[in-house]
Amino acid sequence: MPRLVMFNSISLDSYFTSSTNDMSWAHRYDPEWTTFISSNASGEAVMAFGRKTYDLMASYWPTPMAAKNNPGVAEAMNKLPKLVFSRTLDKADWSNTKLVKGDLASEVRKLKQAPGKDLVILGSGTIVSQLSEARLIDEYQIVLVPVALGAGRTLFEGQKSKLDLKLTKTRTFGNGNVVLSYEPAL
């Protein structure tokens, strides 16, 4: 059965996006980090996005600039299967993308019960909080980036109930990023 993994960057003051929806602060590339990101992108997962993150990703990864700046990640992002959860989007034109319009939690439950690849949520704070509330996320991979934004959106914005997690792995990088992996505490 597929697992649902969330991978997101947050600032030291707990924001995953700035107050202007900027995420450029999270892109602290050096050779070690680039290798890590490229190896993650080459996995055998299905990428999952909300509409806003999908729009951002689809406007960048298929471009010549993405291929020049980060060729390995661009190739993988364009090749991997993708889901976009949206009630407002009419079509999804990015290669290998399926639009899912039904109830988010119900659709994810179906995906997790069927045979298939793991699902990885990138960005998409609104669906992260909804799926956390529904207790459908199996692993939270959070990249702590050494920057303070002062304002923005929190990853669990709108979550109504407490979510207890247990730390399962950590990895520190030379660029100052720390990857923290958590699973729901039982």
Find the mean pLDDT for residues 5-27.
89
Q: What is the CATH number of the domain that holds 46?
A: 3.40.430.10
Higher pLDDT, 43 or 126: 126
Domain containing residue 171? 4-184
Contact present, 146 and 177 (Cβ < 8 Å): yes
The fraction of the chain above a pLDDT of 90, given in percent, is 65
| Beta strands, E only, the chain | 4-11, 15-18, 46-50, 82-85, 97-100, 119-122, 139-145, 152-154, 165-172, 178-184
Query: From the CA atom positions of the chain, what is the Rg in Å?
Result: 16
What are the beta bridge partners of residue 24? none
How many distinct structural domains can be found in the chain?
Answer: 1
With a cut of 90, say whether residue 26 has pLDDT above it: no
Find the mean pLDDT for residues 150-163.
89
Where residue 162 falls (left for φ over 0; alpha for ψ -120 to 50; beta otherwise) is beta
Question: Within 10 A of 14 (CB to CB), how many other CB atoms are there?
Answer: 15
With a cut of 80, say whether residue 42 has pLDDT above it: no
Q: What is the distance between the alpha carbons of residues 25 and 113, in angstroms, rounded to a whole number?
A: 36
The fraction of the chain above a pLDDT of 70, given in percent, is 97
